[in-house]
Amino acid sequence: MLKYKELYDYIVSVLYELKRKGQTGFFSLSEIVDNLNYPATPSDIYDIGKYLEAEGYAKANFNLGDAYVEITPQGIVYIENKEESFLPTFEEFLQKKAKHAEIGKVASKLSDKSLVKSRKPIVEKISNIVQYLNSHAVYRNSDFHKDAKILKLEIEKINPDKEVVIMKLINLEQLSTIKQQTNEVRDFIDYYISRH
């Protein structure tokens, strides 16, 4: 597995290569990290994005489900100032250990479609809660069921309302029979909504 320093260097290198090949804009950080075969949780992606931003290597756009990054001039200079052996080492890593050796296939750009894709895991978790509540007669017409449906709809929006998401999640957390599922949803949302 990559060391953390190597991971950061390779992420900036991917962004550098994308820019060099004329691809501009914000790219999915979770897809870049996944392509580098580095196991990362949503909180790791958030922290990596914050670090890249703090170092000045990339601008970051944090959305529910992913962080999208774009290389900065400082990031370009950082890669260009690396020793001559770095880029061949990076290329070799891509060829032998990355999921895709071709840089253009590494990450999708920030778009409405990519936002929907990055939120798919959390939407599925909320859908499971909705199905569970719907399958039990005692909950079918309850406020819990309605809150779960509203939470799912809100998360599916391009710009979810943070207050609505938090309020509906707090209401759902009161139901002990779905505590594990709501905890998973809470973990996911904490990094992308409640910190912003």
Question: Is 80 found in the same domain as 13?
Answer: yes
Residue 180 has pLDDT above 60, yes or no: yes
Question: Is 70 found in the same domain as 30?
Answer: yes
Question: Is 48 found in the same domain as 25?
Answer: yes
- Run of H or E residues at 91: helix 86-96
Q: How many domains are contained in the chain?
A: 2
Domain boundary, last residue among 111, 143, 164: 111
Question: Is 9 found in the same domain as 70?
Answer: yes
How wide is the angle at C-alpha 158 spanned by C-alphas 185 and 118, nearest 5°? Answer: 55
Place of tokens 């079918």: 140
| Rounded CA separation 43/190 (Å) | 9
Place of tokens 């798919």: 120
Domain boundary, last residue among 111, 134, 161: 111
Q: How confident is the model at residue 112 (pLDDT cuts 50, 70, 90)?
A: low
At 90 the pLDDT is 85
Question: Is 103 found in the same domain as 127?
Answer: no
Structural domain that includes position 144: 119-194
What are the tokens at 175? 């139901």
Task: Determine the residue type at 176.
Answer: S
Question: Is 70 found in the same domain as 45?
Answer: yes
Question: Is 125 found in the same domain as 107?
Answer: no
CATH number, residue 9:
1.10.10.10
Question: Is 185 found in the same domain as 167?
Answer: yes
Question: Is 82 found in the same domain as 8?
Answer: yes
Question: Is 156 found in the same domain as 101?
Answer: no
At 94 the pLDDT is 83
Domain boundary, last residue among 111, 132, 150: 111
What are the tokens at 110? 């920030």
Question: Is 133 found in the same domain as 94?
Answer: no
Question: Is 133 found in the same domain as 97?
Answer: no
Tell me the pLDDT tens digit for each residue of 138-166.
898 899 999 999 999 988 877 788 889 88
> DSSP class of residue 98?
S
Residue 109 has pLDDT above 70, yes or no: no
Strand order across the 58-63 sheet: 27-28, 66-71, 58-63
Q: Worst-scoring range by mean pLDDT, 34-38, 51-55, 156-160, 187-191? A: 187-191
Q: Are 67 and 29 in contact (CB under 8 A)?
A: yes
Residue 65 has pLDDT above 80, yes or no: no
The better pLDDT of the pair 95, 134 is held by: 134
